[in-house]
Structure 1
Amino acid sequence: MYQPKKYIKDDPEFIFQFIQNHPFATMVSNSHPLVATHIPVLVEGTAEDFRLYAHIANHNEQLESLENDAEVLFIFQGSHAYVSSSWYAEKDISTWNYSAVHINAKIKIQTSKELENSLEKLVKTFENQQKSPLFYNDIPKQMLQDHLPLITGFWAIPFKIKGIAKLHQSYSKEDIISSVEHLEKGTLTDKQLAKDLKEENGLP
């Protein structure tokens, strides 16, 4: 990951929270040719010591490169948007603000029991946000038994972790406020970026 010094976000608490807030990741395998899959990836442990877990379909071509100790790269993407220099007090160059976390990790294939436990946690994590949740154990058992042989679960043990948040650090307060005001009029992603800009730069 390219990390200009003023945008580096390698703090463990930032990384851990970022993964929880942006669990839909891109997983890239170091195969020939390179191959990637977009999947929900969850984290367990603490900010100082954690592992990731997920699963993919067995007919996914990336499964061929997933074996014990294989290296993968996970890319977690936060909110991002174009920021126009027309919003600034003086003429300048437009830019793109964003945040992301990259994690290089080693794979460990899950047992069938570990896979079931992971799926139960995965469903619970997102169903807890629903008005009438349908948890893993509420799904018909036969349906689960038919589905489990079609997927492979895995742990991912991090060995290299990098974070970045390019959020208008070092810009004037006037230009940051103006950027926030314009972003708040945009899409849902723009509005989330506006929130990130305020938090990073200490704005109310």
Structure 2
Amino acid sequence: MYRPLKYRKDDEEFILQFIDQNPFASFITRGDRLLATHIPVLREGEKEEWRLYSHIANHNEQLAFLKDGAEALLIFHGPHAYISSSWYQEKDISTWDYSAVHVNARIRLQSKEELEESLEKLVYKFEKQQEDPLYYRDIPKQMLLDHLHLITGFWLEPFKVEGIAKLHQNYSKADVSSVISHLENSGDSTKKQLSEDIKNTNL
């Protein structure tokens, strides 16, 4: 990943929090060509001991290349938006602000028991936010049996992790304030979220 020094974000707190807050990732592997699937990827463990886990459908062409020890690239995406130079006090070049984390990892296939445990954690993470949650163990047993053999779960053991946050660092306070204002007033929830990231970084 191209990362100018001023935008690099390699501290563990940023990395782990970013992954937890942006779990829908691009899962990239090498097959007969580069292949990608967009899937929720969750983290377990803390600091140097953490790992990731997910699953894909068995009819996904990536399955043929999922082997123990194979390499995968995970890209976790944060909020992003076009930044118009018309928002600045003086003429400049327009740009794009964003944040992301890349994780290079080794794949290890899960057992059926590990897959079920992973699914239970995955469902819990997102269902607990619902008004009337339906947890994994609430799903009819036969329905689970009918679907479990259609997916393959895997662990992802990270060996290289890189973060970036390009959020208008080193711009004048006036220009940063203007960018934040335009994003906040855009009516777009993603742009509003990006404005908070820029605000927390610069002001």
Residue type of the alignment partner of 1:151: I
Aligned to 1:196: 197
Aligned to 1:183: 183
Residue type of the alignment partner of 1:63: L
Residue type of the alignment partner of 2:50: F
Cα distance in structure 2, aligned partners of 1:17 and 1:198 = 18
- For the 8 Å contact 1:15–1:47, the answer to whether it is kept is no
**1:32 CA displacement:** 2.2
**1:185 CA displacement:** 1.3
1:135 counterpart = 2:135: yes
**TM-score, structure 1 normalization:** 0.98
**1:30 CA displacement:** 1.8
Aligned to 1:7: 7
Residue type of the alignment partner of 1:168: H
Cα distance in structure 2, aligned partners of 1:168 and 1:49 = 32
Summarize the alignment of residues 35-184 of structure 1 with structure 2, pairs less than 5 Å apart: 35-184=35-184
Cα distance in structure 1, aligned partners of 2:24 and 2:47 = 19
Cα distance in structure 2, aligned partners of 1:125 and 1:183 = 30
Secondary structure of the 2:91 match is coil
Secondary structure of the 2:193 match is helix
**1:98 CA displacement:** 0.2
**1:81 CA displacement:** 0.1
User: What are the ranges of 5 or more consecutive residues in structure 1 without an aligned counterpart?
Assistant: none
Residue type of the alignment partner of 1:164: I
Residue type of the alignment partner of 1:195: E
Cα distance in structure 1, aligned partners of 2:176 and 2:123 = 39
| Structure 1 residues 5-48: Cα deviation after superposition (integer angstroms, max 9, x where no partner) | 00000111100000000000000002221110000000000133
- Residue identity over aligned pairs, in percent, reads 64
Secondary structure of the 2:93 match is coil
Equivalent pairs counted in the alignment come to 202
User: What are the ranges of 5 or more consecutive residues in structure 2 without an aligned counterpart?
Assistant: none
Cα distance in structure 2, aligned partners of 1:12 and 1:31 = 31
Secondary structure of the 2:10 match is coil
Secondary structure of the 2:47 match is coil
Secondary structure of the 1:48 match is helix
CA RMSD, aligned part only? Answer: 0.6
Cα distance in structure 1, aligned partners of 2:93 and 2:155 = 43
Secondary structure of the 2:25 match is strand
